[in-house]
Chain A
């Protein structure tokens, strides 16, 4: 049994005023400062109150190599400890875990996780290309046709191509159909319409409308895919003692965990063995986080879930992986309306990553949205049931890294 070192709570959140395709009015560093200012304003803290900063952003996506140093002054961090995480889709939650460890260990009393992505100032596709560079090198060295017309070069076309193998495997092994992916995408776009910090909002979204969008790579349609978003998010955590003095409402960290596996697709140099829909890291990390949080059955004890779903099928798939329902059951919960904001197992009331994806922030936004639900501050997208415990999930890497954070409305008994 793993014991927590000391209790840590989320005492404040800061978002940029909007999450949109292009923020031409601000630079990267200026955009980050908007979120930092919002976080300080929401907590009433001054820059000198922050003991340590943890920064999260994906390397190569904007072509800026040291954004945490460019932004140091803009996030009022000059002279303070800073560390940076770049773990792919999970960046935001990795940065959050970094801030948590700072405070849980006693190295800091108040720490701020700062994350951003400004996709409009870079080319995410080029960044993603860097991830599979070793594979492309091996293909070229072995005389393979990398255009994917014949031989083993069928990567399937960018991130959506890789993920479609996962979606296809998930559909086959769960019994769900494309119509369920259409329906969950529509539900999340409707939820996003209630979230002022969401990007793609459609209050009128229906499964039928999503089903009319073009097929990109079977079974993934255009309507199932996340946008590229500009935005920044910060999250401030504090020790129990400090939190009591500063905040009226706190979302307490009950358990965190992360896990990695092999690359799952196109690992040509050393072969691949894993079903891309198996997602063993999600299974292991959620079990570990539950154990740390003292949760025996997440189905019964977790009231709200935020899932990292760059692609719509992942909401359903990961509900099964993290233990919120049995395998093959998620699409049945969807059909029964249980996943809606009014349902028994509400998920992604924020609109999810499929509606807003400024990559560095995406996994942190899963945590902050869970915190807002626990604090009762989610506004129009507050779910109907009371949220006592919530689980946030992060996913990324190539396809093989998972982070989990469990929050609660009461601190854990130490």
Chain B
């Protein structure tokens, strides 16, 4: 048996602050309580991002025009997880799609329910399943379900 020495320490999670204050994320969260998805649109090229960044990735200019995005969209790619981070098998396979919501140009990651793993495919139409009680948290967007 190998002898290992352990040095304990603490990791202050609140240490990390963003200058942008997650402005686009805050905007999105604020409207999620009303089951609305609010992104930011570039006034120059028209690209819509969700959550909205404070600059346009294509034009490299500051952007701040709110734009509502549909809660319906299309699967662009997906995976089905069979194991957790440490390699332990999951009780149920986990379907994780990346979805392009209608009216939005950026993609968003989530989990999917109400669908067998063998039925998921790229191009599949899906919609957001909202939580019964929305609180203005990212948990409000519970899953994607087949449209």
Residue count of chain B within 8 Å CB distance of chain A: 51
Task: Report the bound CA distance from A139 to B52 in whole Å.
Answer: 15
Task: Report the bound CA distance from A169 to B122 in whole Å.
Answer: 8
- For A169, list chain B residues within 8 Å (CB): 76-77, 122
Interface residues in A122-175 by Cβ distance below 8 A to B read 125, 133-134, 137-145, 148-158, 161, 164-166, 168-169, 172
Q: Is the interface of A mostly helix, strand, loop or mixed?
A: loop
With known contacts A144-B137, A151-B110, A151-B138, A270–B77 Cβ distance under 8 A: no
Q: How far is the CB of A75 from chain B (nearest CB, A)?
A: 28
- For B138, list chain A residues within 8 Å (CB): 139, 142-144, 151-153
Q: How far is the CB of A265 from chain B (nearest CB, A)?
A: 7
With known contacts A150-B143, A154-B94, A273–B78 Cβ distance under 8 A: no
Task: Report the bound CA distance from A137 to B12 in whole Å.
Answer: 11
* Cβ-defined contact, B111 with A150, below 8 A: yes
The A/B interface has a contact count, at CB < 8 Å, of 154
* Cβ-defined contact, A142 with B29, below 8 A: yes
* Cβ-defined contact, B80 with A266, below 8 A: no
- For A79, list chain B residues within 8 Å (CB): none
Check if B117 is an interface residue, CB within 8 A of chain A. Answer: yes
Task: Report the bound CA distance from A134 to B107 in whole Å.
Answer: 18
With known contacts A142-B137, A144-B137, A266-B109, A168–B122 Cβ distance under 8 A: yes
Check if B73 is an interface residue, CB within 8 A of chain A. Answer: no
Point out residues on B near A: beta carbons under 8 Å.
13, 16, 18, 20, 22, 24-25, 29, 39, 47, 49-54, 57, 76-87, 93-94, 96, 98, 105-111, 117, 121-123, 135, 137-139, 141-143
Task: List 20 other contacts, CB 8 Å, given A144-B138, A216-B82, A271-B107.
Answer: A134-B18, A137-B13, A142-B29, A145-B139, A151-B139, A154-B109, A154-B111, A156-B96, A161-B96, A169-B76, A172-B122, A214-B83, A217-B81, A218-B78, A218-B93, A269-B25, A270-B20, A270-B24, A273-B47, A273-B57
